[in-house]
Structure 1
Amino acid sequence: MTDETPAKPADPRTARADDAEKPMPTLWEQMGGMVGFISASIPVAVFVIVNWATSMGPAIWSAVGVAVLIAVVRIIRKEPLMPAVSGIFGVAIAAFIAYRVGEAKGFFLYGIWVSGAFGTAFLISMFVRWPLVGVIWSTLNGHGLGWRKDPKSRRYYDIATAAWTLVFAARLIVQQWLYNADETTLLGIARIAMGYPLTAVAFLVTIWAVRRVDKRDKAREEAERAENERIERELGAKYDTPAQESP
């Protein structure tokens, strides 16, 4: 007969400490990261292909069906739900506009309007000295807004914000022109061609800016830490020195 020592119950304080050590997911992670970004774009590509091969009706149902399927897969895999909901919402709006317009090209109006709105917002943010790339990146990764005190860091984010402004402006101008010309097939091709390639270029500029700002942030934090340590040493030396006795 062997003696078995009962396992000790887990210390709730240790469990709470472990939970506290786990970093909170950033907003970018909650949105699904790059996988969520790509998944939200797939229904648009499906609409373009099906509309080119058949007609508007099957294209609308195919795009909506793919958006719902992606949402179901993400729910089954217990992935962040925000990309799935936003994907269905965007496709539903685009499909509704196309239905109301009565033409397949109406499916792209929502994207054109969004490009115009984002382009305007990014452009204004540079003039008010709150470049949106810096604001968004700081929010997604939980960083502070200390970079705004550094003119050079703000300039880096201005460059990245300008890149995104050009991307949205290019999409707005080209796609609006094709929409007005009733070039639905070319509009769909432009939507795809101006999607990932231009986004990739803007992302590269953003990464370039973020890396340089991060280097400056680390240098600033090290300088502040060294200054705080120097002040602490001086204060410690001041209070540790014995007072001179009066004669």
Structure 2
Amino acid sequence: MTDTRSPAATLLAHAGGVRGLIHTALPVTVFAATSAVAGLVPAVAAAVGVAVVILVWQLVRRASTRPALFGFAGVLVCAGLAFVTGQARDFYLPGIWMYLGMAIAFTVSVLIRRPLVGVVWARVTGRDDSWRAIRRARLAFAAVTVVMALVSWTRFFVQYHLYESNQAELLAIARVAMGWPLFAVTSSLIYLAIRTAIRAVPQRERVAGT
């Protein structure tokens, strides 16, 4: 059956949709709030508990469990690291390194002229790499990939500084504040880049066919 969703909706669906993004943010928020009020061990238990509830709820609904499974595994890694070290700030360390990895990936993809946002868009929508030959599409994806790189570098440097200075409370606030608000901005820019590419690709094809 043909997928009638827009490319932007397809990309969002691969992230689990809006519900999946909320499910990803909930355990982190619960850990931060519980840690500030009750300490590390209750916070670890609360975060893992929320992740379990989300996973079970997805199973009951017979919805796609991939985002919930990835989220659950991520929470286990973060919570396990914090529990072993006895430091609440270590709950955020895997995420900090993830931001570094994303920053490097976005940056390198632009330098080698294969902007990652465009590559992912083509893959999840079943397209080839012909968009790279179209200047307008290539520039749109390069621009939004540069933005993604800057956002990832900012997240990494800010949160790593707070981690190194042992400011767990501010680190928790930064993780939440640099999550949904920045996602709203970057997702809007990605949507605009996709619209630009969609308009440019057929135009190039029509010109080539004349």
Q: Please give the TM-score of this superposition, normalised by the length of structure 1.
A: 0.78
Bigger shift: 60-69 or 215-224? 215-224
Larger CA Rg, structure 1 vs 2: 1
Which residue is equivalent to 2:122?
138
Choose the corresponding residue for 1:174, options 152, 158, 161: 158
1:95 aligns with 2:52: no
1:220 aligns with 2:204: yes
SS across alignment from 2:185: helix
Paired-residue identity, %: 35
Unaligned runs of 5+ in 2: none
Whose helix proportion is higher, 1 or 2?
2
Choose the corresponding residue for 2:31, options 29, 41, 47: 47
Distance in 2, Cα, partners of 1:145 & 1:84: 31
Residue 193 of structure 2 aligns with an amino acid whose one-letter code is A
Bigger shift: 58-67 or 149-158? 149-158
Change (3 A) 1:31 1:175: closer
Which residue is equivalent to 1:15?
none
Which residue is equivalent to 2:89?
105
Structure 1, residues 109-149: CA drift from partner, whole Å, max 9, x if none?
01100000010011000011110000112222223322111
CA RMSD of aligned residues (A): 1.8
Change (3 A) 1:48 1:119: same
SS across alignment from 1:41: helix
Alignment of 1:66-77 (within 5 A): 66-77=50-61
Distance in 1, Cα, partners of 2:183 & 2:12: 16
Which residue is equivalent to 2:42?
58
Distance in 1, Cα, partners of 2:146 & 2:17: 23
Bigger shift: 122-131 or 135-144? 135-144
Distance in 1, Cα, partners of 2:173 & 2:125: 34
Distance in 2, Cα, partners of 1:49 & 1:79: 28
Alignment of 1:1-247 (within 5 A): 21-23=1-3, 28-29=12-13, 31-224=15-208, 226-227=209-210
SS across alignment from 2:113: coil
Kindly state the Cα deviation for residue 219 of structure 1 after the two structures are TM-superposed: 1.2
Q: Give the structure, 1 or 2, with the largest relative contact order (CA under 8 Å, sep 6 or more).
A: 2
Q: Please give the TM-score of this superposition, normalised by the length of structure 2.
A: 0.92
Kindly state the Cα deviation for residue 81 of structure 1 after the two structures are TM-superposed: 1.1
Kindly state the Cα deviation for residue 32 of structure 1 after the two structures are TM-superposed: 2.1
Change (3 A) 1:28 1:179: same
Q: Is the 8 A contact 2:11 2:121 kept in 1?
A: no
Distance in 2, Cα, partners of 1:147 & 1:209: 12
Q: Is the 8 A contact 1:30 1:82 kept in 2?
A: no
Q: Is the 8 A contact 2:137 2:197 kept in 1?
A: yes
